[in-house]
């Protein structure tokens, strides 16, 4: 479980996050949603340690992340897998080398075991026989899948996904959502997904935190989000015609 307590972050004079607290449970897909510029990505960066919150604490299964010594921080980081918005695959490495990379750096296992793990992860994300392809030869959806495979290859306890559906067609987006949900349940990870895609919210939102202007306005799940009376959340959910019709 990941717990955040009173996370506050400012850039110069602009306060981006206002004392956000919450609990993201293990084995669940936890979503952080909100319109663009509401602080979702900043909160995610605070969670994974790419930014330090001005005030507040982040706990990974009871271990303080932001206030620990460097060894503990490094240990926690090595338990984190992250899918970036643009996949962030290393251009100079092929698919196999990209996925194998965390194993090369962080483990002492044999080359044979590494390749077995890579193939297992590629199989889990539904990709086969693309080991030697370069990232430039892959489609957007395939890059995301390879990104997910790299994120889980080191038996990550915590999986973070930043806008996993951005730039994907609706069909591929649904496949990626299903994959995230499936992997979370199968590997029992604590998964946090930052998104503004309503389809993801409905499909995989087992816990949802809604941010508006850097504040947490609502939390719940995909079963009760459509019944909310909060004006800001309603205007976010029902911003397109299809959702208005469903309503």
Partner 1 sequence: MFLISLFERREKLKTYFSLTINECIKIGYDSLFIVSIVSIFMGAVTTIQTAFNLVGPLIPDYVISLVVRDMTLLELSPTIIAIVFAGKVGSNIAGELGTMRITEQIDALEVMGINSSSYLVLPKIIAALLMFPILVVISATLAIFGGYTAGVMTDVITGQEYIYGLRYEFNPFNIPFALIKSYVFAFIVASISSFQGYYTSGGALEVGKSSTNAVTNSCIAILVADYILAQILL
Asked if 11 touches partner 1 (CB under 8 A), the answer is no
**Nearer to partner 1 (CB atom), residue 104 or residue 178:** 104
Q: How many C-beta neighbours within 10 Å does residue 160 have? A: 26
Asked if 52 touches partner 1 (CB under 8 A), the answer is no
**Nearer to partner 1 (CB atom), residue 75 or residue 139:** 75
**Nearer to partner 1 (CB atom), residue 91 or residue 128:** 91
Report which DSSP code applies to 186. Answer: H
Asked if 74 touches partner 1 (CB under 8 A), the answer is yes
Site for partner 1 in 103-132 (CB under 8 A): 104-106
Among 6, 11, 37, 50, binds partner 1 (CB under 8 A): 50
Number of H helices, E strands in the chain: 9, 10
For partner 1 (CB under 8 A), the number of binding residues is 26
Asked if 85 touches partner 1 (CB under 8 A), the answer is yes
Among 19, 27, 49, 140, binds partner 1 (CB under 8 A): 49
Q: Are 27 and 189 within 8 A, CB to CB?
A: yes
Contacts of 79 (CB under 8 A, 6+ apart): 60, 156, 157, 158
Q: How far is the CB of 53 from partner 1 (least distance, A)?
A: 16
Give the span between the Cα atoms of 240 and 145, in whole angstroms.
Answer: 28
Distances (CA, A) of 60 to 48, 57, 208: 10, 10, 19
Q: How many C-beta neighbours within 10 Å does residue 182 have? A: 15
Report which DSSP code applies to 154. Answer: T
Asked if 171 touches partner 1 (CB under 8 A), the answer is no
Can you give the binding site for partner 1, defined by CB under 8 A? 48-50, 70, 73-78, 80, 82, 84-86, 88-91, 101-102, 104-106, 154, 160
């Amino acid at each position: 479980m990941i717990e955040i307590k009173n996370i506050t972050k400012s850039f110069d004079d602009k306060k981006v996050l206002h004392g956000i607290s919450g609990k993201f449970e293990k084995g669940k897909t936890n979503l952080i949603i909100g319109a663009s510029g509401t602080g979702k990505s900043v909160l995610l960066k605070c969670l994974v340690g790419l930014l330090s919150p001005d005030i507040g604490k982040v706990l990974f299964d009871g271990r303080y992340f932001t206030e620990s010594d460097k060894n503990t921080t490094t240990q926690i980081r090595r338990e984190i897998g992250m899918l970036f918005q643009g996949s962030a695959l290393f251009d100079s490495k092929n698919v196999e080398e990209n996925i194998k990379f965390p194993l090369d750096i962080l483990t002492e296992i044999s080359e044979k075991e590494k390749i077995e793990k890579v193939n297992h992860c590629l199989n889990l994300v539904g990709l086969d026989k693309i080991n030697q392809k370069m990232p430039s030869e892959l489609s957007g959806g395939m890059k995301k899948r390879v990104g997910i495979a790299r994120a889980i290859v080191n038996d990550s306890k915590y999986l973070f996904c930043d806008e996993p559906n951005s730039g994907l067609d609706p069909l591929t987006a649904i496949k990626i959502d299903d994959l995230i949900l499936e992997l979370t349940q199968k590997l029992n990870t604590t998964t946090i997904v930052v998104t503004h895609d309503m389809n993801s919210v409905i499909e995989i939102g087992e816990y949802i935190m809604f941010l508006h202007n850097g504040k947490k306005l609502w939390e719940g799940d995909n079963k009760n989000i459509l019944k909310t009376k909060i004006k800001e959340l309603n205007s976010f959910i029902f911003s397109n015609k299809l959702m208005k019709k469903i309503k």
